[in-house]
């Protein structure tokens, strides 16, 4: 457990502050759509608990976020600055990772544990949390909802970028002694991608 926490902290520090080339290339990777959907569902469960509407899964956005995730893997990079040619109608993008040691203690990690861990990372970062708490495009904006994601008094129609559709892609990169699960979450008002 100590190794898991240390590696997760080191990876999170790199993601938050480095956002650059990774020092080590993965030996192999796998795409895990089932885990991506489990994380997406966990985000919606969290939003439901706060009486916020659920984001709607979009295959278009899944394909786009997966393309971005695969490009990062191919380029041995991690972070927003490494993503190129995003469609102009991406309202929000979140990137989060989960790293664990490849040993007997971690053979039975389940999707719920991974999803909860990644959700907690996002919730401990105010900019990421504000994206998870924003109202849906179809909801009436109430003062209560606005206070959840605004930190200062500003004109709402300038700051609020409401989303309805989205997806999560997931790649598990095996580095030998450890594996890093990389999630990219993309949200938009539209169900389809706009052309650049």
Answer whether residue 82 shows pLDDT above 60: no
**Dihedral in degrees, nearest 10, Cα atoms 93, 99, 104, 107:** 0
Instruction: Report strand pairing: 165-174 vs 56-57.
Output: parallel
Please count the other Cβ atoms lying within 10 Å of the Cβ belonging to residue 163. Answer: 22
Q: What is the pLDDT of residue 71?
A: 87
Q: What is the rounded CA–CA span in Å between residue 59 and residue 49? A: 25
Q: What is the rounded CA–CA span in Å between residue 83 and residue 94? A: 12
Q: Which position has the token pair 């109202």?
A: 135
Q: Give the mean model confidence (pLDDT) for residues 141-166.
A: 53
Q: Give the mean model confidence (pLDDT) for residues 2-17.
A: 43
Share of the chain above pLDDT 70, in %: 68
Residue, of 151 and 41, whose pLDDT is higher? 41
At 115, the pLDDT band (50, 70, 90 cuts) reads: very high
Q: Give the mean model confidence (pLDDT) for residues 103-113.
A: 83
Residue, of 139 and 187, whose pLDDT is higher? 187
With H, G, I as helix, E, B as strand and everything else as coil, classify residue 192: coil
Q: Which fold has domain 2-17+30-188?
A: Pathogenesis-related Protein p14a (3.40.33)
At 168, the pLDDT band (50, 70, 90 cuts) reads: very high
Least confident of 6-10, 25-29, 161-165: 6-10
Q: Which position has the token pair 């469960």?
A: 45
Answer whether residue 13 shows pLDDT above 50: no
Q: What is the pLDDT of the chain when averaged over all its residues? A: 77
Q: Give the mean model confidence (pLDDT) for residues 115-127.
A: 94
């Amino acid at each position: 457990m100590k190794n898991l926490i240390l590696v997760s902290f080191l990876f999170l520090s790199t993601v938050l502050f480095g956002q650059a080339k990774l020092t080590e290339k993965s030996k192999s990777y796998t795409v895990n759509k089932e885990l991506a959907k489990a994380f997406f569902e966990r985000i919606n469960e969290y939003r439901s608990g706060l009486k916020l509407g659920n984001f709607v899964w979009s295959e278009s956005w899944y394909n786009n976020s997966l393309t971005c995730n695969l490009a990062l893997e191919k380029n041995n990079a991690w972070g927003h600055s490494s993503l190129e040619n995003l469609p102009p109608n991406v309202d929000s993008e979140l990137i989060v990772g989960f790293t664990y040691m490849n040993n007997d203690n971690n053979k039975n990690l389940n999707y719920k544990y991974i999803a909860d861990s990644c959700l907690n990372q996002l919730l401990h970062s105010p900019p990421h949390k504000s994206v998870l708490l924003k109202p849906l495009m179809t909801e009436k904006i109430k003062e209560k909802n606005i206070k959840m994601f605004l930190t200062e008094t500003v004109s709402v129609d300038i700051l609020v970028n409401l989303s309805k559709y989205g997806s999560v892609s997931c790649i598990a990169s095996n580095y030998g002694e450890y594996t890093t699960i990389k999630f990219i979450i993309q949200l938009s008002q539209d169900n389809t991608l706009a052309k650049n």
